[in-house]
Amino acid sequence: HRLLVERLPDSQVMVVSNREPYIHNRSSEGIVLQNPASGLVAALEPIMRACGGVWIAHGSGSADRDTVDRHDRLQVPPVDPAYTLRRVWLSEEEQTGYYYGLANEGLWPLCHIAFVRPTFREADWLQYCKVNERFAETVVQEATRDDPIVLVQDYHFALLPRMIRDRLPKATIITFWHIPWPNAETFSICPWRNAIIEGLLGSTILGFHTQLHCNNFLEAADRFMESRVDREHMSVTYRGHEVLVRPYPISIEWPPAALANQAPVASCRASVQRQFGLSSDVRIAVGIERFDYTKGILDRLKAVDDLLTRHPEWSGRFVFIQAAAPTRSKLGAYSALQEEAETLVNWINAKHGTRDFAPIRLVIRHHEPDEVFELFRAADMCVVSSLHDGMNLVAKEFVAARDDEQGVLILSTFAGASRELSEALLVNPYDTHGMADALQTALQMPSPEQRNRMRLMRELIRERNVYRWAAQMLLDASHIRQRQRIGSAE
Ligand code: F6P
């Protein structure tokens, strides 16, 4: 945290993301603020609270539909303001093309190997270009100097780095791609692949979660662009401008803010038992995330079925609580997933449950961080079975929530987090039998072993926390700025 602030003397820090950190929704009690279910927000919000600056994002809450109540600029967090939230208003047409269309029906399935075919529509692409332009203009409006440090977030803004570079040539642009980058062959199906790569090459630094994703990007730049790729130095030079391509595994704040409000583990457990009508001998597994087809939710439910089929002794003594936040529900792939999950849950509950006991509890609604942490603390295990995931911060949050050093993490090898959290029970979510075995292993894991594993994972996350993630990028950027200053003085 200190390092971060020291690295930023006399600089202006700006974040650009699609999702805003505080969503203003209208409710019967007036306007309520909601923290979105977003790994990106979970990681960047503590950084902005620490360094201040401007966060530019799309204003998306239900309270903002009425133009009378909405504000373009706000000081946040509301209780203890630390930075400015600048909001960009998108029309229905822009939102449909840029966010739902190109970003989430095109780039999202293109970059995640979840076997959902990407959809590429020219009209979506045009909106995507237009919205990226609008955010570039907003960056210029908010810049108070000609060399701001701009942190561009994610696949919604692939074109933005170049657009900012054209307008503010001295800006330090750190772009972070929060999702996987596929191999060059896969990426090449995108009709606008060159424009996307060219846009990203406007960055000063381009970050991914893992070395593999960096290698995939370097390969794509090499194959499709007239560029010079230096694999040893991990850089691409394009039209005389050098971009560093580096892995920065994202993380969470340590200790997480939500932990401060938590009751002791035993009280959390009692509270969850009350909410779900569970007796104290029922073992609890949880899964918590956005209701997204990349998360492997159906696959873990099938594993629960397999566990209860092969180990009927757990019937009535094991419950799986799946908290799923509705997301991108307008898209067919997402509504189909929800329907399929509900059908599967009913089927499994009919097969293994009784009139008084359902082994699977599917709760489809948004959960605030305090509720999420209570569930984590109440659980015997947490299952993160992503089919493909950039990092997955749920896995890290579960570990952070367990200051009692108990609980087992079951983690997909296809989530970036598995590169760091090797003490989790690592699973292939496509292998139902193997996942059911992991559930059984977790149920039988002795407390000292849970402690040993949890302790090692906690040490790692404490050390590699989100401040370090940001500090490392800013440190690399500050070296580049220094070199540029020396270069221009000579
Ligand atoms: O981490 C990937 C990501 O797409 C983030 O960019 C985003 O904030 C999060 O998942 C949630 O998605 P959405 O903002 O579309 O709800």
Q: Is the pLDDT of residue 261 over 70?
A: yes
Distance 312 CA to ligand 1 centre (A): 38
Q: Is the separation of the CB atoms in 251 and 461 below 8 Å?
A: yes
Specify the pLDDT at position 250.
96
Nearest CA to ligand 1 atom 5: 40
Q: What are phi and psi of 389, to 5 degrees?
A: -155, 140
Distance 22 CA to ligand 1 centre (A): 14
- ipTM comes to 0.95
Which comes out higher in pLDDT, residue 471 or 288? 288
For residue 44, give both structure tokens.
């960047």
Q: Is the pLDDT of residue 294 over 90?
A: yes
Specify the pLDDT at position 186.
98
Specify the pLDDT at position 485.
81
Distance 328 CA to ligand 1 centre (A): 10
Q: Ligand 1: which of 20, 55, 131, 178 to mutate, most ligand atoms within 8 Å of CB?
A: 178
Phi-psi region of 115 (alpha: psi -120 to 50; beta: other; left: phi over 0): left
Distance 234 CA to ligand 1 centre (A): 27
Q: Is the pLDDT of residue 84 over 90?
A: yes
Could you identify the atom of ligand 1 that is nearest to the CA of residue 391?
1
Q: For residues 409-430, give the mean pLDDT.
A: 98
Mean of the per-residue pLDDT values for the chain? 95
Pairwise CA distance, residues 213 & 388, whole Å? 12
The answer to which of 255-259, 369-373, 383-387 has the lowest mean pLDDT is 255-259
The answer to which of 348-357, 386-395, 470-479 has the lowest mean pLDDT is 470-479
Among the listed residues 145, 166, 153, the one whose alpha carbon sits nearest the alpha carbon of residue 42: 153
Which string of b and e fits 295-323 if b means at least 16 CB within 10 Å? bbbbbbbbbbbbbbeebeebbbebbbbbb
Highest mean pLDDT (candidates 34-43, 425-434, 479-488): 425-434
Could you identify the atom of ligand 1 that is nearest to the CA of residue 36?
16
Q: How many CB atoms sit inside 10 A of residue 338's CB?
A: 18
Specify the pLDDT at position 28.
82
Could you identify the atom of ligand 1 that is nearest to the CA of residue 154?
6
With a CB cutoff of 8 Å and minimum separation 6, the contacts of 267 are none
Specify the pLDDT at position 2.
66
Q: Is the pLDDT of residue 187 over 70?
A: yes
Give the binding-site residues of ligand 1, using a 6 Å CB cut-off: 18-19, 38-41, 154, 178-179, 290, 327-328
Calculate what percentage of the chain has a pLDDT beyond 90: 85
Q: Ligand 1: which of 19, 102, 295 to mutate, most ligand atoms within 8 Å of CB?
A: 19
Could you identify the atom of ligand 1 that is nearest to the CA of residue 39?
1
Q: For residues 202-217, give the mean pLDDT.
A: 98
Specify the pLDDT at position 9.
66
- Confidence class for position 324, pLDDT limits 50, 70, 90: very high
- Confidence class for position 191, pLDDT limits 50, 70, 90: very high
Q: For residues 325-345, give the mean pLDDT.
A: 97
Q: Is the separation of the CB atoms in 182 and 209 below 8 Å?
A: no
Q: Ligand 1: which of 38, 102, 105 to mutate, most ligand atoms within 8 Å of CB?
A: 38
- Counting Cα atoms < 13 Å in the Cβ hemisphere of 406 gives 15
- Confidence class for position 254, pLDDT limits 50, 70, 90: very high
Pairwise CA distance, residues 203 & 161, whole Å? 5
Distance 40 CA to ligand 1 centre (A): 7
Q: Is the pLDDT of residue 164 over 70?
A: yes
Q: Is the pLDDT of residue 227 over 90?
A: yes
pLDDT digits (tens, 9 = 90+) for 112-152: 999 999 999 999 999 999 999 999 999 999 999 999 999 99
Residue holding tokens 């994202």?
A: 250
- Confidence class for position 410, pLDDT limits 50, 70, 90: very high
Nearest CA to ligand 1 atom 8: 38
Specify the pLDDT at position 47.
86
Q: Is the pLDDT of residue 3 over 70?
A: no
Specify the pLDDT at position 487.
81
- Confidence class for position 34, pLDDT limits 50, 70, 90: confident
Taking the chain, what is the end-to-end CA distance rounded to the nearest angstrom?
34
Pairwise CA distance, residues 441 & 353, whole Å? 22
- Confidence class for position 180, pLDDT limits 50, 70, 90: very high
Could you identify the atom of ligand 1 that is nearest to the CA of residue 155?
6
Pairwise CA distance, residues 97 & 103, whole Å? 8
